[in-house]
Amino acid sequence: MNRWLKLTGFLSTALVIAAAPAGAQTARPAWQGQWEKAVEAARKEGRVVVSIPASAELRKTTEERFRQRFPGIEIELVTGRGAAIVRRIQDEAKAGVRHFDIHVGGSSSVVSGLLAEGALEPIEPSLILPEVKELNNWWGGHIWVDRGKRYIYTFQAYLTESMWYNASLAKPDEVRSYDDFLHPKWKGKIGYLDPRTPGAGDSNWSYMWMAKGEDYLKKLVGQNLFISRDQRLLADNLAKGKIALVIGLTHYTFLPFLRAGLPVKPLSSPKEGTYGTGGSGNLTIVKNPPHANATKVFVNWLLGKEGQEVFTKAMGQATRRLDVDTKWLTDVGVLPAKDHLTLKQFLEAENQSEEKLEKVREPALKIAHKLLG
């Protein structure tokens, strides 16, 4: 009898195992196999080429952390102003050269250049890791710059203080309104990042146009602005007291000067308000990237917690990831949207989406060319 019970028990167990789906005992999430395959293929490709904003700290930290995380995948980082990099990518594409995989930077030059020319790859197929794909990890869910919600992913959201002063020459309470920039004492003492090129200078200019009108901009130009496309030069002139105020520069440009203890400080937002932005945190994949798998690996690393911590700290710009601390940014003149705003408030303030670029920034740009030549 006991022998019969043992035999039937054995047969029952065998039937259960046989009836179970193949591989049930070793089943893994589909994304895990996809990820491992991408990493393995990326190591065979050997490298990924990424353009990033001109921040020495971002370059250094990104190289160190990515190489530690993914040995065998070399990362080539190309730094520079977004507009210049976009032109380079466009020129290389026309010449049949495929060098860049990814571009990370401001939205304006990407929308008017790479997006308009159909030179971008859809991003969503490259999102593999759950921590990147899941909406609950992102303030506002997934936010896109382009109307089609496919090609330009913005991983940051904040209100920025892109106006600075030399504490030896000016006091913060002297500039509480945009009208204060028109005071005679500031004539010849205001620097401005050229609003005729994409960047924070362009963003400030368009917001001023929206808030104060064309007549105000005429008066501002009449202050003999020191206009330059060289962010470092403008920051250096402010730190050395050659100018007292500057418009269009953000925290990462001033980081070396702040660390050196030089008298440069961010102005509080004028009473008329300021624009909302994703700053330099707009991700694009160049069409037909030469290192397709390494591109996927970098995209998932950048949008993961580690990558967003690196980018936020180096750039002084606020990620939308909910598991990355951004409260400290208020001390350097940046108001993270996820800590202070509703999604509705941010979307009303932002001026970097494809729609806002057409309705606000393009008309303001025409006025800039009209007034500045």
Number of residues written out for the chain: 373
Q: How do residues 211-221 score in pLDDT, each as one tens digit?
A: 999 999 999 99
How sure is the predictor about 6, in pLDDT bands with cuts at 50, 70 and 90? very low
Domain for residue 320, yes or no?
Answer: yes
Question: Do 222 and 326 reside in the same domain of the chain?
Answer: no
**pLDDT in the model for residue 27:** 81
Q: pLDDT band for position 13 (50/70/90)?
A: very low
d(CA 262, CA 113): 37
What CATH number is associated with residue 61? 3.40.190.10
CA distance 273 to 208: 10
Range of the domain at 224: 162-273+364-372
Domain co-membership, 244 together with 368:
yes
Asked if residue 98 lies in contact with residue 92, where contact means CB atoms within 8 angstroms, the answer is yes
pLDDT in tens, 229-286: 999 999 999 999 999 999 999 877 888 888 899 999 999 889 998 999 999 999 999 9
115-139 residue pLDDT tens? 999 999 999 999 999 999 999 999 9
Are 241 and 292 found together in one domain? Answer: no
Note whether residue 11 is domain-resident.
Answer: no
Give yes or no: residues 205 and 226 share one domain.
yes
Percent of the chain with pLDDT over 90: 81
pLDDT, residue 85, reads 93
180 and 248 part of one domain: yes
Same domain, 264 and 287: no
Per-residue pLDDT, 26: 65
Q: Is the pLDDT of residue 147 over 80?
A: yes
Non-local (6+) Cβ contacts of 109 within 8 A are: 82, 83, 86, 198
| In a domain? residue 346 | no
Instruction: Output the pTM of the full model.
Output: 0.81
7 in a structural domain = no
Residues 242 and 368 in one domain: yes
pLDDT band (50, 70, 90) for residue 12? very low
- The DSSP annotation for 269-337 comes to PPTT---EE-TT-EEEEESS-TTHHHHHHHHHHHHSHHHHHHHHHHHT--B-BTTS--GGGGGGTEEEH
Same domain, 52 and 78: yes
Q: What is the mean pLDDT of the chain?
A: 91
* pLDDT tens digits along 341-369: 999 999 999 989 999 999 999 999 999 99
Domains in the chain, number = 2
Average pLDDT rounded to a whole number, residues 91-119: 93
**How far apart, in whole angstroms, are the C-alpha atoms of residue 276 and residue 369?**
24
Confidence of residue 25 (pLDDT cuts 50, 70, 90): low
Q: Is there a domain that residue 350 lies in?
A: no
172 and 290 belong to one structural domain: no
- Of 95, 104, 29, 99, the C-alpha closest to 66 is 104
Does residue 12 form part of some domain? Answer: no
Residues 95 and 72 occupy one common structural domain: yes
Instruction: Determine the Cα–Cα distance for residues 81 and 32; give it in Å rounded to an integer.
Output: 36
Residues 135 and 169 in one domain: no
The token duo for 208 is: 């001023």
- If asked whether residues 253 and 307 sit together in one domain, one would say no
Residue 304 lies in a domain: yes
Q: What percent of the chain shows pLDDT beyond 70?
A: 93
